[in-house]
Amino acid sequence: MSSQDNDETLLAIGELAQRSGIAVSAIHFYESKGLVRSTRNKRNQRLFSRRELRVLGLIKVAQDLGFTLDEIGEAFSGIPTDRVPTTRDWQRVSRALDEALQAKIELATRMRNKLNQCIGCGCLSLNDCPLRNPSDELAEKGPGPHLLR
């Protein structure tokens, strides 16, 4: 919670769920993992900084991209808890995810470009399989689509 937060800017968990599109139960789970943080008011209700909306939005997208919660937690561990994160703080998160993001982008690009070509999976079902994977030679490398990875 930052010093810039006050009760008027803090969100109850229902509001946070509505604005983020993430279920209350999932927010509790993320909180238990230390990915989002709350404070309590005098009636012991959880209140969340608006900063958590951004964190939840990024968590949702990162999960859609296949990042695990451990990976997300590690990347977000540099985000300060005692002040509003700056652009530089978010750049640190970006750098932490950069290598893995680049690998995902390259894999997605290869998949898009090779959807109509042999991927070396062993099916030998396309016209170019005999050229790219003659007699299923790639099987010697083990399981999987060798020409995609």
Query: What residue ranges bind ligand FES (CB under 6 A)?
Result: 118-126, 129, 133
Closer Cβ to ligand FES, 57 or 122, answer by number: 122
Least Cβ distance, residue 24 to ligand FES (angstroms): 45
Residue 57 CB coordination number (10 Å): 14
Q: Measured between alpha carbons, how far is residue 12 from residues 25, 65, 86, 119 in Å?
A: 14, 28, 24, 49
Nearer to ligand FES, 61 or 107 (CB): 107
For residue 21, what are its two tokens? 């599109």
Q: What is the dihedral of CA 90, 70, 35, 100, to 10 degrees?
A: 20
Between 6 and 116, CB nearer to ligand FES:
116
Q: Closest-CB residue for ligand FES?
A: 118
Q: In angstroms, what is the minimal distance from the CB of 108 to ligand FES?
A: 18
